[in-house]
Amino acid sequence: MKVLKYAYFMVLLIGLNVLKAETLEPKNISSAVEDKLENSKDIKALENYLKKSEDELFKAEIEKRKKDYISKHRRELESYIENGKNVIPLIYSILIKHNLPPELLAVPIIESNYKIMAKSPKGAAGLWQLMPETARNFGLKVSEEVDERLDPIKSTLAAVKYFKKLYSVFGDWQLVLASYNAGHNKVITKVSYHGNSFSSIKNFLPKQTKEYVLNFIAIAQATTEIIKKKGLDKEDVNFDIVKVNKGYTFEEISKLTYIKRETLDKLNPHLLKKRIPNDGEEYNLYVPKGYGKLVKALLDDSV
């Protein structure tokens, strides 16, 4: 009896193995499907089609946001540009001088609404919302006496160095912007796993970063016309810059130059203690347009 049961079991097992083998035989696969799988051109065409569809959706989303900004948020955009009207021409010229896209003028719109004194809860400050460590890494002084993130020219030059550094890593401006928002280490990690383009990693980034890049492109396109219409793409500023490496209080400068103390306060928010430190380092002193040479001469003569 046991022998019969064993024989029955073996027959059943062999039958199952035969069935399994037959199921996996190539002859059971549709020849049409097999042909398609073997034809790499069809697979490549499908990949290109999907990529093209995704790119078209991306462009459509940008266009939609651009139209929304122009139709629904134009006043807000114009008010932000108004905030920066005194520095945008100089920032524009710096970007052009360093062969960077002038569209980067849109970054301070998103980051600070072009408010020089803007500060975030996390500690970022200035037009470009640089963190203290990042600012110091790119040559800015951040201390109890001076915060050069609030110096529009020096902070812009630091941002330029930062952008160039990021571009040297990624070679793609959308990835640069994602890195500016999320941090380059996070983007490097995503690129290493999912591909070296924003479209390939965007769904793996934080939602805030994905939105940041999309909004930047839309805002940059929407504000280019406004900036040109206002003539802010031409270098024309209402202040002069005096390089000073000796200690003066704003009170002393005001008495020497007859520039109102309140004007010096407003033009120089980066000098936190309302004085130029006497540490031998060179600082920017912003004065009303036309006063630069006079202030330089008076300060030099007073030593």
For the chain, domain boundaries: 58-229, 239-301
Strand, helix or coil at 243? strand
Annotated catalytic residue, options 111, 145, 225, 251: 111
Return d(Cα 102, Cα 228) in angstroms, integer. 11
Query: What pLDDT tens digit does each residue of the chain (303 aa) get?
Result: 544 444 444 444 444 444 344 444 444 445 554 454 455 566 666 555 555 566 787 888 888 989 988 889 999 999 999 999 999 999 999 999 999 999 999 999 999 999 999 999 999 999 999 999 999 999 999 999 999 999 999 999 999 999 999 999 999 999 999 999 999 999 999 998 988 889 889 889 999 999 999 999 999 999 988 898 888 888 778 899 999 999 999 999 999 999 999 999 999 999 999 999 999 999 999 999 999 999 999 998 875
Mean pLDDT, the chain, rounded, equals 86
Q: Where are the alpha helices (DSSP H) in the chain?
A: 2-24, 31-38, 40-72, 74-83, 88-97, 106-112, 132-137, 152-170, 173-182, 184-194, 198-201, 207-229, 250-257, 261-267, 292-301
pTM over 0.85: no
CATH class as words, domain 58-229:
mainly alpha
> What single DSSP character describes residue 1?
-
**pLDDT tens figures, 124-182:** 999 999 999 999 999 999 999 999 999 999 999 999 999 999 999 999 999 999 999 99
Longest dimension (CA), the chain: 121
pLDDT of residue 29: 42
Radius of gyration of the chain (CA): 31
| Catalytic annotation present for 281 | no
